[in-house]
Amino acid sequence: MLVAGEASGDLHAANLFRELRSLLPSLKGIGMGGIHMREAGVDLRYDSTGIAVIGAIEVIKHYGEIRRALNLMKQLLRDERPDLLICVDYKEFNFHLAKAAKKLGVKVLFYVSPQFWAWRPGRVKQYGKVVDHMAVIFPFEVPFYETYGIPVTYVGHPLAGSSASGDRATLAAEFGLAPDSPTIGLLPGSRANEIKRLLPVMLKSVTLLAQRFPDAQFVLSQAPSVDDGLLAACLRDMQTSVKVVKGRNRDLVNCCDAVITVSGTATLEVALAGVPMAIIYKVAPLTYWLGRLLINIPFIGLPNILAGRSIVREFIQQDSSAVNIAGEVGRILEQPEYAGAMKSDLQGVAEILGTGDGSAKLARLAVSMLAPRL
């Protein structure tokens, strides 16, 4: 049984299931996720697209549907009694599901562990009581879990080792882009509430940048989970052309000279491509205030967290204005030394993430946990 609640988790779970099926062709997969898991052959009992939200206030607004999904997954555990439950990210939801699995005697593998090192480190003890094994994606997480006596394996980041499907010229031609014009990518996220909150300021930045760089071209990456109508509504009044590419994040980024991205997994895709970026982040004021009380590290962008210092500018809450964002992207385009230094720092982040094969390593770990039932 695999359970993912967001677009990135859906993709990681799908890649994992494909690796598992290559090792165990008769394996059956059930659970919760999105389009990628369904295409990989998982029998989805709940589509998680509608509950992919971030922030305390946002979760409260969707609490009823999230609770319904959790109850359905708990019932599925009771009815199907899977040999292994694999929880992929979506930490609070999956914590409660893992707790239910533990009571039923179902083994639990947690993948993409909660970032306890960034917030509420004491909570790790509670997870240790309900999780049989923690699969982590950053090497520095291993000693953290070992300190608490929790079985842990570093499998590498699922994005590490991935690459674009072609070179810049080839991909630009496929997307209808001029290969030699300045290209700016927009990564507005995979959640509807995230797009409603952050895409408008991205598009205002586009307007400013188009005035400053008349030959610039803009391309937006649409996650498969994002409704076409939502994007169309956001883009309806745009005077500047913005090309939309669906489900091709890495290929799109490979065509760009600079990227404006929301905080999250997407920042690592940009980092692995070595493309300079500006990170933006904005949630409800109360959610942000609560977060500042809980989070004990100075950054929200994963490249900065991994580097241990600020290598990419973060525009948070009121600082995420069109003027500030456009100013940073303009600096990247106009100052080769500045852009070059950021590219060099991002190469260091790529080295931390490792060489890839994370899904295969995780699949072997899952098989070892299934071994007594084989």
Judge whether 13 and 48 are in contact, CB under 8 Å: no
What CA–CA distance (Å, rounded) separates 304 from 45? 37
Judge whether 50 and 58 are in contact, CB under 8 Å: no
Amino acid 33: pLDDT: 96
Residues 6 or more apart whose Cβ sits within 8 Å of residue 173: 179
Same domain for 221 and 349, yes or no, is: yes
Same domain for 344 and 360, yes or no, is: no
Q: What is the mean pLDDT of the chain?
A: 90
Interaxial angle between packed helices 228-235 and 192-212, expressed in degrees from 0 to 180 and rounded to the nearest 10: 40
Same domain for 269 and 314, yes or no, is: yes
What CA–CA distance (Å, rounded) separates 99 from 4? 16
Amino acid 56: pLDDT: 58
Q: Can you read off the two tokens belonging to residue 6?
A: 């967001």
Judge whether 54 and 284 are in contact, CB under 8 Å: no
Number of domains composing the chain? 2
Same domain for 359 and 345, yes or no, is: no
Residue 119 buriedness (CB in 10 A; 0-12 / 13-18 / 19+): middle
What CA–CA distance (Å, rounded) separates 12 from 336? 35
Which of 265, 256, 273 shows the shortest CA–CA distance to 300? Answer: 265
Same domain for 202 and 59, yes or no, is: no
* % of the chain surpassing 90 pLDDT: 66
Amino acid 240: pLDDT: 95
Q: Can you read off the two tokens belonging to residue 12?
A: 């990681």
Does the pLDDT value for residue 154 go beyond 70? yes
Question: Of 6-10, 16-20, 181-185, 272-276, which range is least confident?
Answer: 6-10
> pLDDT tens-digit profile of 196-209?
999 999 999 999 99
Same domain for 186 and 138, yes or no, is: no
> pTM of whole model > 0.85?
no
Residues 34-38, mean pLDDT to the nearest whole number: 94
Same domain for 31 and 99, yes or no, is: yes
Question: Of 86-100, 157-171, 213-227, which range is least confident?
Answer: 157-171
Q: How many helices (H) and strands (E) does the chain have?
A: 17, 13
Same domain for 48 and 194, yes or no, is: no
Same domain for 209 and 281, yes or no, is: yes
- Cα distances from 283 to residues 57, 118, 151, 231, 256, in angstroms, run 9, 18, 34, 19, 27
Amino acid 364: pLDDT: 96
Q: Can you read off the two tokens belonging to residue 97?
A: 């599901």
Same domain for 180 and 213, yes or no, is: yes
- CATH number for the domain harbouring residue 289: 3.40.50.2000
Does the pLDDT value for residue 118 go beyond 60? no
- Match 């052959």 to its residue by tokens: 41
Same domain for 202 and 327, yes or no, is: yes
Quote the domain boundaries for residue 224: 168-353
Amino acid 165: pLDDT: 81
Same domain for 173 and 131, yes or no, is: no
Which of 52, 66, 38 shows the shortest CA–CA distance to 5? Answer: 52
Q: Which residues pair with 108 in a beta bridge?
A: 85
> pLDDT tens-digit profile of 277-321?
999 998 776 666 666 656 666 788 999 988 989 999 999 988 999
